[in-house]
Amino acid sequence: MNEAPAAVHQHTSPTVSEVGEVLELLQAAWERGRREFGTAPLSAAQTRVLYVIEREPGINLSGLGRSLSAAAPSVTRMCDRLQAAGFLRRAAGAQDRREVELELTEAGAAHLQAIRHRREQALHQAMELMEPEARRALVAGLKALGEAVGAPAPAPARPRSRPEPSSAPGSRAEPSGSPGSSETPDRTRRAG
């Protein structure tokens, strides 16, 4: 059952709330930079598609859908529009010719570069108003936050003092991968 927004907010520390507010302001500034770039306006979702394809050249439609947490039909429609606008191209897969790989065109890469340039100009202007020490602290904090956000979720805690099933006196070893064995089910999750 989902908690109501007020209940979720009660569990949030003041620091997290402050960071959230700053991130919302930055997101609004980023969106403004995207909207102000006017030769071929794209939606925020279409722009995210371009960023994912830039980061993962050759990604296929299903991989793109997973990256965006979007349904296949909407991903396909966005890619159709971006291809028609000249921002991406589809190519037969190198490993499997039936697979379609997505790549940015020069126009798509140039569009992202222009958005970045406009955003960097706005960011530069704002950061010039900050003291040098505050700028350094901002960079260090953002790097740490980026690493934490990109870090894999910690594994659930496991009992440390439990002996291996085969080494405990009088116990019988269970087959590998079964409950109680030293094999972790994580291996099967990673493969899938």
Give me the residue spans of the domains in the chain: 13-150
3-state secondary structure of 144: helix
Give pLDDT tens digits for 3-20.
555 554 556 677 888 888
> DSSP letters of 15-81?
HHHHHHHHHHHHHHHHHHHHHH--SS---HHHHHHHHHHHHSTT-BHHHHHHHHT--HHHHHHHHHH
CATH classification number, 13-150, choose in 3.40.640.10, 1.10.10.10, 3.30.420.40, 3.40.50.10190: 1.10.10.10
Phi, psi of 2 (to 5 degrees): -80, 145
Distance between CA atoms of residues 108 and 40, nearest Å: 10
pLDDT, tens digit, 9 for 90 and up, residues 124-165: 888 899 999 999 998 898 888 888 887 666 655 554 454 444
Q: Which residue's structure tokens are 């429609």?
A: 77
pLDDT single digits (tens) 43-82 = 888 999 999 999 999 999 999 999 999 999 999 999 999 9
pTM score of the predicted model? 0.59
